[in-house]
Amino acid sequence: MPDWKSLVQERLALLNLSHDAKEEVVKELALHLEEICDNARADGLADSAATALALEEVHNWPALSAQISRARSKEEVMNRATKALLLSIAVLFPAGLILLFLQRAPVMQMLIWTACAAMLLCAAASEANRLSHRTRSLWLPALATFFGASVSLMVCEFLGVKPRMVWMNHYAVGHVALFLYWPWLASLPLFGAAGAHLSLRAHGAARARLAAGLSPALIMLTVWVVILPWGLLIDGVHFFQLVGFGLGLVNWVAIPGVALLLGAAPFLGEARPIPV
C-alpha cells in the first residue's frame, strides 16, 4: 500500500498555498484516496488493483493543484482586498454625509462620493462570483443606484444648479414651496434603469428589480420616517412641521421615486433567461 500522504504531497508539489493550508489539503485528499483504496480492498480487490482504482480519481495532478490553489489562496487575497475597500467606504461615506449636511467643501464631497462609488464597483467586481443571490440581485444593484443618484446630485450642486422653487398656497400655513432639481430629476430614470437592469442580470425577482431601481427613494423614505419622530420629539407636534414633512416626502421620495420608476419599468416585466 502506498503512503498516501507522501504520494499526494509529491503530486501536489505545485500547490501554491501557505504551509498550514497545504498540509490540510494534502491530509484531506490523502485520506480520501486511502478510503477509496480501503473500500475497494474490502470489496475483494487486490492491493494493486485497489491502489490503481484510487489513483484513477485524478488524471491531471498539476491541473488539480492549480484549481485548488485558485480556490483556496484567492480567498485570502480577495477577502482582504474587499474588506479594505468596504472599510474605506464605511469611513468615507459618513464623512461625505457630514460635509453634505454642513454644506461644506463641495469639491471634497464630489471626490468622496466618486471614490465610494468606484470602490464599491471594485469590491462588487472582485466578489461577484461568491456573493449570495440576494446580494447580487438586490443589495449591490440598490447600492449602485443610490450612489449613482447621489453623485448626480453632487454634480448638480457642484455645477451650481439651483433648485427651482414651486410655490403652493395652503390655507393653514400660507405659501409653501417644493424644491426641484430638474437636471437631477432628469438623470434619475437612468439610474433607476441601471439598478433594475443590474438586478435583472443577476436573475433578481421582480420585487428585487423594483427595489433596486427605486433604492434612492426608498432610502430617503427610511431617513424621513426616522427624522420625523425626532423632529416631533424635539420641537413638539405642530401642523406646520407635518406639512414640512409631507413636502419633504414629495420632494425627496415621491417625485424622485416616479422618475426612478420610469427608468426601472422596462426591466420589471420579463425574467432574464438563464445563460446556457
Partner 1 sequence: MTRRIRSKIARGSGELAILSLLAEQPLYGFEIAKQIGERTGGALKFTLASLYPLLYEMEKRGWVEGRWQANHAGRDRRYYRLTPGGRRQLAPLREEWRSFFQALDTLAGVSHA
Residue whose grid cell is 483556496: 72
The cell for 259 is 422618475
Q: Does 58 bind partner 1 (CB under 8 A)?
A: yes
Phi–psi pair at 270, nearest 5 degrees: -110, 130
Nearer to partner 1, 31 or 118 (CB): 31
Phi–psi pair at 171, nearest 5 degrees: -65, -30
Cβ atoms 1, 47 nearer than 8 A: yes
Nearer to partner 1, 31 or 87 (CB): 31
Q: Does 18 bind partner 1 (CB under 8 A)?
A: no
Name the residue type at position 248.
G
Residue of the chain from 32, 114, 242, 255 that contacts partner 1 (CB under 8 A): 32
| Residues 116-135 close enough to bind partner 1 by CB under 8 A | 129-134
The Cα–Cα gap between 119 and 149 comes to 16
Q: Does 10 bind partner 1 (CB under 8 A)?
A: no
By 3-state DSSP, what share of the chain in percent is helix, strand and coil, each rounded to 5?
75, 5, 20
State the pairing for strand pair 174-180/164-170.
Answer: antiparallel
Q: Does 103 bind partner 1 (CB under 8 A)?
A: no
Residue 82: partners with Cβ closer than 8 Å, 6 or more residues away: 123, 126, 127
Residue of the chain from 67, 94, 98, 164 that contacts partner 1 (CB under 8 A): 67
Alpha helices, DSSP H, located in 128-214: 133-134, 140-158, 182-201, 206-213
The cell for 126 is 472582485
| Residues 200-219 close enough to bind partner 1 by CB under 8 A | 203
The Cα–Cα gap between 106 and 191 comes to 22
Residue of the chain from 23, 24, 47, 235 that contacts partner 1 (CB under 8 A): 24
Residue of the chain from 37, 64, 194, 249 that contacts partner 1 (CB under 8 A): 64
The Cα–Cα gap between 236 and 239 comes to 10
Residue of the chain from 60, 226, 236, 269 that contacts partner 1 (CB under 8 A): 60
Q: Does 273 bind partner 1 (CB under 8 A)?
A: yes
Q: Which stretch binds partner 1 (CB under 8 A): 42-50, 64-72, 157-165, 214-222?
A: 64-72
The cell for 36 is 477509496
Residue 174: partners with Cβ closer than 8 Å, 6 or more residues away: none
Q: Does 5 bind partner 1 (CB under 8 A)?
A: no
The cell for 45 is 480487490
Size of the site for partner 1 (CB under 8 A): 34
Residue of the chain from 26, 36, 116, 198 that contacts partner 1 (CB under 8 A): 36
Q: Does 72 bind partner 1 (CB under 8 A)?
A: yes
Nearer to partner 1, 80 or 164 (CB): 80
Q: How far is the CB of 70 from partner 1 (least distance, A)?
A: 8
Q: How far is the CB of 24 from partner 1 (least distance, A)?
A: 8
Contacting positions for partner 1 (CB under 8 A): 24-25, 27-29, 31-33, 35-36, 56-60, 63-64, 67-68, 70-72, 74-75, 129-134, 203, 271, 273-274
